[in-house]
Structure 1
């Protein structure tokens, strides 16, 4: 572990499809059927962001997190089935790779979803070791599905690997393992943290949870705990698992020099019976609504990030890459556009600082759906609910997200001036895409 304040340890816990309105500290908790005391307590120990923004679904967000670039640049546009070309190309530089150059060791325990063939597993992309699932958790339903056989669709596996060696299958990922996996992942991270406590190198732990992705099924110990069904029971388990990691970090004496981040990759689930909520915002992931963009984010860094503070300043998932690079004195690539902005000043001085980010473009696959600028959101395609698109708009819709958080009343005709800064952002980004086209992915040629 590192005791050097200039080289803090970093622990990043990423929930899967956790909506803005689920946690107690975001207005949910018992109102959603399950208290979340451990995550709520974490928020009291650091900074909670109200305006942390992500990409449209699992693969785009995780790619943006890992390389600080929008997925429209990297080609990580959507989730695809096993056997289809997917993942970050070898040309992309990942967060653990740049941290490794600064002397960090790293581990990944959880859901990867950025490559499922040799050369693209976590242990091939900068992590010293990994354990988890290479793709998505709905695959755990395969072996229970009517008509499924392994000769027509690949069996899903839980896997593990170490840098320099081939990754290997551990066991079939079925519905039984779906209930057990977050418990197993926590045990993996606890074991790894214990080993790092006795070492001298600074470390980076990336722990992408499986909860609350569908099928949202709790561990048998939590089944029936809340009396409010599987989703609430799974929220209670998720909160408990985060608490286990926090307790272990503190028991090892690591907390004082560890940056601990808890966030979500996407907006809430929309599939029954596991529907989530984005609180005051409309929409779910796979849309450009504010409920898709905004998700929970909490950071604790003792002595550097003040306690019990909230901020509505805008931060984007690409900023995590750049900010962790800044905090750890790591070098980001200079041969390609990096969309992430260093938010260290905002995170360490939120009461007196403003975010250097004014907005961002939001794509779903290759389509520009919306642009967010300050308190304004301009939609070029209107799809308030998944698969309910009215298509590209002849006249865009404009909303003020402060006065109209559910994006119900288009006010473009009264505020056409807002198109000037928004379209200038688009023009600059379009120019960048032309100047710096992504290298071709050899798997897709």
Structure 2
């Protein structure tokens, strides 16, 4: 290095430091199977099921009341969140990925994490992946490339046989590819899916040990290899602790950071830690929701303690609605109504399947205690982040993502020209939204007047039905929904 170059670099360092600090940190917390009505601040009928930390986030930021996951189940929503593209444009036309599934995110596809890496961000992921991985055999060849998208251990015949053969061929000492660290994340700690094998932690691209035991039948989840001593109750608090540690580590570095915290809760296995068992006085599920809220609180506290809260954009949302495993009747018997606003649940095209909380806190940018009733989708995260950093996305990226930054900052109260939002259920059924109108198949509902979708008004509005059907087909055929 020449003396002249060294002098120039020395002079530039303060400028580079200032530029780094000008870029906000970003923390996206995604809960699993938790509807709009699961947040107490959204639901006056939540009774003893309280979420004080998420409620505090609502009071400190903007609460979106008409936010949607791209799908009513998890894998496709996660794909859309990270890529800004509807997952039904991939080979996954319905349902989710099952045991040992190969990666769903295409190698050439730009993710939000990769975009942020390119903008100088440290990128970290903690939690559930559920977007497929490449597993290898002892010869270093991919062991799961023969699986079909519908193959699962619970199916019969050749499908179950292929899954079993795949599992037997995997060498768990080999590195894993196609996961978070191959899709833009500098670091990763978590589990693929908490109710699928292998039951073991993954750090970056390696299992943390060898799953030499078999999951006991008494433990929730698919049969398969497990790390000896694995406890489901340890998963959620460990994810919280790892997130807190990561935030504190990054706060000491002169670089903006992006944390994607993909919680495993309150999805099955419903496994609250001992500290939270019985805390709600309602059920283990309610306990698990409250522990989920506590983990959110731990992350927010870490931002405060590390001195990064004022320059951090925090988003809390969920991948789909509440699962029927929550036992709605039992909750109602204890005064908890998770159908207060909407009917339906996870996997369904009803609002309860995909209407999710979406809360944004960005000190100095979002108005505390504000709300927005515009229809948005989790897919919008990528275009919004690009706009925040003044990044022009290529044409072959984020095809179904809309910039909602003007809503977040309050510069606009609506986006009248935004593309219509599409929803998708576990069976592959579509719904499309235009203002208060929702078309599902041949049924039309006015959600402002009829949020629980009880009255089909399609016959009264044939022209609108025709328009929405044509728009859905156009979006499907043209390969994108953005203008």
- Alignment partner of 1:410 out of 446, 452, 456: 456
- Unmatched 5+ stretches in structure 1: 140-153, 381-395, 436-445
Structure 1 segment 13-92 matched on structure 2, within 5 A: 13-27=29-43, 30-31=46-47, 33-54=48-69, 55-77=71-93, 78-92=95-109
- The answer as to whether partners of 1:29 and 1:36 remain within 8 angstroms in 2 is no
Aligned partner of 2:178 in structure 1 is 120
Aligned partner of 1:421 in structure 2 is 467
- Please give the secondary structure, in 2, of the residue aligned with 1:21: helix
Aligned partner of 1:148 in structure 2 is none
1:168 partnered with 2:210: no
TM-score, normalisation: structure 1: 0.84
Give the 3 Å change call, closer, same or farther, for CA 18–434 of structure 1 in structure 2: closer
- Alignment partner of 1:295 out of 347, 356, 362: 356
| Mapped partners of 2:122, 2:399: distance in 1 | 23
| Mapped partners of 1:105, 1:361: distance in 2 | 32
Give the 3 Å change call, closer, same or farther, for CA 171–375 of structure 1 in structure 2: farther
Structure 1 segment 121-140 matched on structure 2, within 5 A: 121-134=179-192, 136-139=193-196
Per-residue CA shift, 1:1-57, capped at 9, x if unaligned?
9875641110011100101111111115751x3221111011000000110011121
Between 200-209 and 185-194, the greater mean CA deviation after superposition: 185-194
1:306 partnered with 2:367: yes
Which structure has the highest strand share of the two?
1
> Structure 1 residue 423: deviation in Å?
2.6
1:281 partnered with 2:342: yes
Give the 3 Å change call, closer, same or farther, for CA 212–272 of structure 1 in structure 2: closer
Structure 1 segment 247-396 matched on structure 2, within 5 A: 247-271=301-325, 273=327, 277-336=338-397, 338-349=399-410, 352-354=413-415, 356-357=417-418, 359-364=420-425, 367-380=428-441, 396=442
- Unmatched 5+ stretches in structure 2: 1-16, 135-175, 221-229, 332-337
| Mapped partners of 2:190, 2:262: distance in 1 | 9
- Please give the secondary structure, in 1, of the residue aligned with 2:38: coil
- The answer as to whether partners of 2:30 and 2:317 remain within 8 angstroms in 1 is yes
| Mapped partners of 2:92, 2:370: distance in 1 | 34
TM-score, normalisation: structure 2: 0.77
| Mapped partners of 2:480, 2:420: distance in 1 | 20
Aligned partner of 1:234 in structure 2 is 288
Give the 3 Å change call, closer, same or farther, for CA 103–213 of structure 1 in structure 2: same
- The answer as to whether partners of 1:325 and 1:331 remain within 8 angstroms in 2 is yes
- The answer as to whether partners of 2:84 and 2:397 remain within 8 angstroms in 1 is no
RMSD between aligned residues: 2.4
Per-residue CA shift, 1:35-92, capped at 9, x if unaligned?
2111101100000011001112110000000000001123344323223334212122
Aligned partner of 1:95 in structure 2 is 112
